[in-house]
Amino acid sequence: MTNLSVSDSDRFAFKIDSDRFREFRIFKDNIAIFLPASRVTDDSLELYAFRQIDTEQISLAMARRSEDGGIFIYATPDAQFTVAEDDPFFCVAGRWAEIRRYFK
């Protein structure tokens, strides 16, 4: 099971495995929690479950790492957010948030 630890109001750290933590920072709005659901075969892609805090709805999306630490998100048709092509931004409930990925 993934362990979620909140170190401050806009930082969420996820224990992926025994020796590495993955951390997401939400810059503009603290409006979503990001839960890694599973790893996929391609090392550059991961499957994520996105849970909206206000509605508790769950959506799945594919995410690709970018060189500058952002992520590109490919949403499923029933996802509760929209995607800007070639832009490491995504929209949850109509509000923009920038996600950057950090590793410890």
For residues 102 and 93, what is the distance between their CA atoms, to the nearest angstrom? 24
**Residue 24 in this model has a pLDDT that exceeds 50:** no
Which of 31, 37, 32, 44 has its CA nearest to residue 1?
37
Structure confidence at residue 11 (pLDDT): 37
Structure confidence at residue 78 (pLDDT): 41
**Residue 37 in this model has a pLDDT that exceeds 50:** no
